[in-house]
Amino acid sequence: MAGSIDEQAVMAQVKQGAAGQYLQELFESIRSKCYEKCVTRPSSSLSSSEQKCLANCCDRYVEATAVVSQAVMSHVAKQGGM
């Protein structure tokens, strides 16, 4: 029983680490892609159009990522899980 609890704790830590890594990679990807698309002339502040573009870009990127993630999870579930 103690081995099972230790194993569960390790698995929880691994899952938490993987989730943190995923979020960091998602943030970096959004930041680089949306910045490249929306910020035409870097300066000390963003114009209102750049702010709006960045907000829309981030929203679309998160929505697209959610759709892709759901499709992958659905496919994995149909294949019998991981």
| Tens of pLDDT, residues 47-58 | 999 999 999 999
- Going by the DSSP 8-state scheme, the letter that residue 23 receives in this structure is H
Residue 1 has pLDDT above 60, yes or no: no
Tell me the mean pLDDT in the region 41-66: 94
Size (the chain), residues: 82
pLDDT at position 71: 92
pLDDT (average), residues 9-25: 87
Question: What is the mean predicted confidence (pLDDT) over 15-20?
Answer: 86
Against a cut of 0.95, is the pTM above it?
A: no
71-80 own/partner pairs: CB under 8 Å, 24+ apart: none
What is the residue type of 51?
A: Q
